[in-house]
Structure 1
Amino acid sequence: MLVGALLTVLTLAVLQFGLAVYVRNVVHDAAVEGAFHAALADTTLAEGAERTRTIIERSVGGQFAQGVDVVETTHLGHDAVQVTVRATLPLVGLLGAPRALEVSAHAPAESLQ
């Protein structure tokens, strides 16, 4: 009985860890995609933020797409776009600590000059 309970808790913990890693990877990939979209010469920063939100909403849900910030910056000495996403870190199922997960992505800014 005790071993069965321990194995059940261990299995659930591994599944929860896998879910947390999956959410982190989805949020990071969405930030990368949004940064590259916003860095295009004919798009705006707002369009990059919207693309990031859309990818996150379609993949894991809207509650993970609340804190998306896009800014122009310099990265490694070149003009760049940075997308930062602050999302919920899932601790029990998809419920968890709000804004505990933060990822950033950079993309080189494109220009028409």
Structure 2
Amino acid sequence: DAAAEGARTAALAGATRADGVERTRELITTAVGARYAEDVTAGTGTVLGHAVVSVTVRTTLPLIGLLGVDRGLEVTGHAAVERLG
């Protein structure tokens, strides 16, 4: 959910990929802690000819509580780029 929200933030008109990364990190840090928000990246691409922003989070895969496999979980959120006019 944090990756998708970050992608939506970055896809807003006037926003940057850095805005999406920052929003994603804020959400993860609030929910489970900053160490889970260390590897967040954003990129651009196209889906069916439409511009999209993607935000990817690579973090620990929790197995017992919040302990687990380092970088064992990778999720990516996508959002269509908003254009005005």
Report what 1:105 is aligned to.
77
1:72 aligns with 2:44: yes
Please tell me the root mean square deviation across aligned C-alpha atoms, in Å.
Answer: 1.0
Q: How many residues align?
A: 85
Higher alpha-carbon Rg: 1
Q: Which has the higher helix share?
A: 1
Gaps of 5+ in 2: none
CA distance in 1 between partners of 2:76 and 2:48 (Å)? 15
Runs of 4+ in 1 over 2 A off after TM superposition: none
Gaps of 5+ in 1: 1-28
**Larger relative contact order (Cα-Cα within 8 Å, sequence gap ≥ 6):** 2
1:1-20 equivalences under 5 Å are: none
CA distance in 2 between partners of 1:99 and 1:77 (Å)? 32
Amino acid at match of 1:105: G
1:87 aligns with 2:67: no
The structural deviation recorded for 1:63 is 1.4
Structure 1 length as normaliser, TM-score? 0.71
- Indicate conservation of the 8 Å contact 1:33/1:52, yes or no: yes
1:62 to 19, 28, 34: 34
The structural deviation recorded for 1:92 is 2.4
Q: Which has the higher strand share?
A: 2
Structure 2 length as normaliser, TM-score? 0.93
CA distance in 2 between partners of 1:75 and 1:51 (Å)? 23
Q: Deviations over 1:30-73 (max 9, x none)?
A: 00100000000111110110000000000011111111110011
